[in-house]
Structure 1
């Protein structure tokens, strides 16, 4: 393909390849415009053009309430609902996580999940009490999917680094997770509680008071979550505006430059947008400086 081919054509070609390979079969949902926007980092209009091209090519069709699905070839038998996998709590949870990852936690409703799973909303209530229980199961699943190493690495700093990076990886993979974690009213999720236990075990034996150890076990994950919330807020802004961060700043370039060239912000004018957008770099910088501070505190208390 030509390197100058429009992004929407490249996206349509990638989805078409999945259909041709049989990865997506007749009746299967294809990624929504929001999911395409997140996965390929494009504007909402570009994602919509990609799906529209697939419709023009006769590969997909849109059904009210069901979204865009792979179109069955003329004369081909429709998939039998009897062949669908049985409904279980695990299958519902998997579908909910996939939907939340693609479109955010607000998109997860019992009605929407029923549509995704090809069943009626009331069928879900035979397995779950409601969305609160579903969210609890989602949290357990994602935390369990990235366990902390056994045995832990030697040394308090290595252990705190591992648990912090594990949490960061979880938040990056599941942006909705950060908004569910609380330091004042935490959900009693065993797999998440294990992270606090790990942190306290790493601090045990250090020359810190009990209060200092408890505060450290709260403030360090709060820092990780804080940066993660910036990431989830950016995803939400992209979803709401249809503009990536670079596109949003590009639309405000003249206004930004007017302020920076005024001479009132000599230090702020040196800001590099690439540094701000590199959240992984910001996370690692803050983590290192936090642990440096703790090391200095331990040296002073020695």
Structure 2
């Protein structure tokens, strides 16, 4: 399994390939099918391995907010190291049944337990933290395997960008500068969204306490 993870980390792609993984292992594709049923199963096992390499601490820092923030940053680090994982999530029709991945959801639910919230609300909070982290990390794979930097990409298209800016049809986009470009980077979206998400959870808890 580690060989397959190293392969996709090195070469990229939106998910593991049975053929490429078999070649990396030095075995025939049919030999690999003796151990996994197909690409989806292979992806599930890989996801389980990478999440298992970043276990959340027990009991974790004091306070629900610190716990959720830590769990999000742990997950973000997984996606920094393995940017193909969010892309693989996007291709699956159902969440993978991976115990190490599911342990993150369980840990987050426990983080907001005993706060007077209904269990469905706790589940939504746990899933929202992961969903936000995954969506923010989705562009990381594109950046990792792109042949140019974001600045070079923008520079090569400066003419078309300037044309769009001066057309008058996009007045807010026309205000874009270095600060706005930085704000649109994946890490900035992750940090801003996480803060807003946790502020929202805090309001839910506060309104419940006030009631």
- Give the TM-score normalised by structure 1: 0.60
Cα separation, 2, equivalents of 1:286 and 1:140: 26
Would you say 1:257 and 2:167 are equivalent positions?
A: no
**CA distances 1:209-259 after superposition (whole Å, capped 9, x unpaired):** 3332222122221111111123234456x2xxx443322221211121122
User: For the pair shown, which has the larger CA radius of gyration, 1 or 2?
Assistant: 1
Residue 144 of structure 1 pairs with residue 52 of structure 2: yes
Return the match for 1:284 from 177, 191, 199: 191
Give unpaired runs (5+ residues) of structure 2. none
Tell me the C-alpha RMSD between the 2 structures.
2.5
CA distance in 1, matches of 2:94, 2:19: 28
Distance 1:207 1:175, change over 3 A: same
1:267 aligns with 2:172: yes
* Runs of at least 4 residues off by over 4 Å: 233-236
Write out aligned runs for 1:25-174 (5 A). Answer: 93-105=1-13, 108-174=16-82
Q: 1:230 to 1:108 in 2, by over 3 A?
A: closer
**Which is richer in helix?**
2
For these two proteins, the number of residue pairs brought into alignment is 206
Unaligned runs of 5+ in 1: 1-92
Kept in 2, the 8 Å contact 1:164–1:224? The answer is yes
Asked if 1:195 corresponds to 2:80, the answer is no
Tell me: CA distance 1:215–1:120, structure 2 relative to 1, closer, same or farther (3 Å): closer
Q: Is the 2:14–2:87 Cα contact (8 Å) retained in structure 1?
A: no
Superposition pairs of residues 170-185 of structure 1, within 5 angstroms: 170-181=78-89, 185=94
* Alpha carbons 1:167, 1:224 under 8 Å: kept: yes
Distance 1:253 1:125 in 2: 49
Matches within 5 A, 1:290-301: 290-301=197-208
Residue 141 (structure 1) shift: 0.8
Q: State the 1:172 CA deviation.
A: 1.5
Name the counterpart of 1:247: 152
- Whether the 8 Å CA contact 1:99–1:107 is kept in 2: the answer is no
Aligned residue in 1 for 2:135: 226
Residue 194 (structure 1) shift: 0.6
- Supply the distance in 2 between the matched residues of 1:108 and 1:202 (Cα, whole angstroms): 33
Task: Tell me how far 1:199 sits from its aligned partner.
Answer: 1.0
